[in-house]
Amino acid sequence: MGPQVAYSTEEEKDPKKQKVEILGPFGLVESNHNGCPAGELQKARVDLAACYRLLDQLGFNEGVDNHLTVMVPGTRDRFLCIAYGIMWSEVTASNLLLLDQEGKVLEGSGCPDPTAFYIHGRIHAAHPHATCVLHTHVPYSTALSCLEDMELKMIHQNSCRFSDEIAYDTVYEGLVLGKTEGDRLAKVMGSKRVLLHQNHGIVTAGDSVAEAFDELYFFERAATVQVLAMSMGKPLKIIDDHVVKNYKDQVDQFRGVWAAKHFEARKRSLYKPTGLGHADFAA
């Protein structure tokens, strides 16, 4: 069921002064700004802009393609996304688009990449846990997706955190340009944190921008180790199942805290006046 909207009797006569109450998965919020208090929406904008900038610094983007989105806090039918044609190094909090579930631009100039709408919109709609969804063609994860056996092997500590967290989609049919294919991807992904799409790339999802960023970062690190280990032409040493489970249990206890600390530390670097990133991302 979508958000429930109610208007106070006192303000009914003047739509501009209507007090909107939206009951969503995060509880009751009041807003006159696209279903979200302005301060919360601005924080979501800043976090997503920071994510674009950080992934650009890490070389995780591909030209003006690939896309990152986050739900508008307190809603299940609106999300922020980049306008197609903007370099990730140019993304700011204010130039992000705000889209509804039908792809209509509610705020911002330009249009999203259609594949961004059909991939992200359908995953957001299907999975309440997918507050933030990141889709990229990062090199080593994408290299794995090009193998007949694209499974991430449990050979390293970073691999173990993804035990039972990866959905593997072996169907590739070109660009995702419709709801049918978007819904299929969402169904394959289910409640997993990672979707590895064969011959294409990776999708990560999280309860926050920080968590989705953390999943993408560490999956790419795990994939890098696997590709390098495989290049040696010797058998991989698989970690025992009970060790994998113990480590995964430990990660699950602290995943959100670690992700927040990691993301905030990297975001602080963007505020420095020197280097690749600087405070204009938050404008």
Q: Which of 188, 194, 212, 210 is nearest to 261 (CA)?
A: 210
- Element housing 114 (H / E): helix 114-126
The model's pTM? 0.85
SS3 track for 38-53: HHHHHHHHHHHHHHHH
Q: What is the pLDDT of residue 3?
A: 32
Q: What is the pLDDT of residue 282?
A: 87
Mean pLDDT by runs of 10 across the 283 residues of the chain is: 33 37 32 66 95 96 94 91 94 94 90 92 91 97 98 98 97 92 95 97 96 98 98 97 97 94 93 62 86
CA distances from 11 to 8, 16, 18, 83, 90 (A): 6, 9, 5, 35, 41
Domain 38-277 in this protein, CATH class: alpha beta
Domain boundaries, the chain: 1-32, 38-277
Q: What is the pLDDT of residue 18?
A: 36
Q: Return d(Cα 74, Cα 3) in angstroms, integer.
A: 9
CB-based contact 95:21 (threshold 8 Å)? no
Q: What is the pLDDT of residue 36?
A: 73
